[in-house]
Amino acid sequence: MSTNIYLSSTALESVVVIKDLGVVFDSELSCVSHCKEKINRAHSMLGLIKRNFIYLTEEAFVTLYKSLVRSHLEYANSVWNPHRQGLIKDLEKVQMRATKLVLTIKHLTYKERLLQLKLPTLKYRCLGGDMIKVFKILTGKYNTNVTFCFEKHQDCTTRGHNLKPVNHICHYDLRKYLFCSLYTNNKYLEQFARVCHLC
């Protein structure tokens, strides 16, 4: 059953998938199609690097990887950051495959290759970036007219710090894994806030 929506007596077209500012949204607000698109794009960029560079030093690889591959995987990731383990592993596999392009460390395990190249996992980078965004929102570094705000606890007797956001109970995954809901009860936010108070 389709419902027509009108704007000034003009019927609006109904679509299942729409792309806005480079991020693909579907009718269920899941990021599956966007993740697959970004993974395919990153693999094509890896193929480009592999075809044009026979031997890569560690420094050259890191420069190429950060500029040509990782930039696709991290663009606007606060909006589409996946919470499903399957998608997280698929994104990580791109970096796993990429680090094997450096022949001198190809024989090492994935963790050893990351240590040698001084690269964090994509999940860790995403978490760190989100924590910085949350802190900037809570401390008023962003313009509140154009960004959403976390609701802070009004009670001044909260333990540890005064940046503790109110934790709203969410029953559905759609709301539970949104950026604003995901980090209100995150243990990393507590640690991050304590570190910032020490600085």
Q: Per-residue pLDDT tens for 28-50?
A: 777 788 888 889 999 999 999 99
pLDDT of the residue at 94: 92
Domain count of the fold of the chain: 2
- Amino acid code (one letter) for 8: S
More confident residue, 13 or 119: 119
Q: Which domain range does residue 86 map to? A: 16-119
pLDDT of the residue at 49: 93
How confident is the prediction for the chain on average, in pLDDT? 78
**Same-domain pairing of 111 and 173:** no
**Is residue 168 in a domain?**
yes
Nearest CA-CA partner of 161 in 188, 118, 193: 193
Task: Give 85-131 pLDDT, tens digit per residue.
Answer: 888 899 899 999 999 999 999 999 999 999 999 999 888 888 777 77
Q: What is the pTM of this model?
A: 0.72
Q: How many angstroms separate the Cα of 126 from the Cα of each of 4, 22, 27, 84, 130?
A: 39, 18, 25, 14, 6
**Is residue 11 in a domain?**
no
**Same-domain pairing of 86 and 172:** no
What are the DSSP calls for 76-114, one per residue? THHHH---SHHHHHHHHHHHHHHHTTSGGGTTS-HHHHH
**Same-domain pairing of 100 and 47:** yes
**Same-domain pairing of 114 and 142:** no
pLDDT of the residue at 82: 77
**Same-domain pairing of 56 and 109:** yes
**Is residue 126 in a domain?**
no
Q: How many angstroms separate the Cα of 95 from the Cα of each of 34, 51, 129, 133, 175?
A: 17, 17, 18, 24, 29
pLDDT of the residue at 174: 62
Read off the pLDDT of each residue in 134-162 and give the average, rounded to a whole number: 66
**Same-domain pairing of 111 and 31:** yes
- Please tell me the least confidently modeled range out of 52-56, 59-63, 146-150: 146-150
**Same-domain pairing of 140 and 97:** no
Highest mean pLDDT (candidates 10-24, 51-65, 185-199)? 51-65
Nearest CA-CA partner of 61 in 111, 94, 100: 100
Q: How many angstroms separate the Cα of 37 from the Cα of each of 23, 55, 198?
A: 10, 28, 41
Residues 6+ apart with CB under 8 A from 6: 12
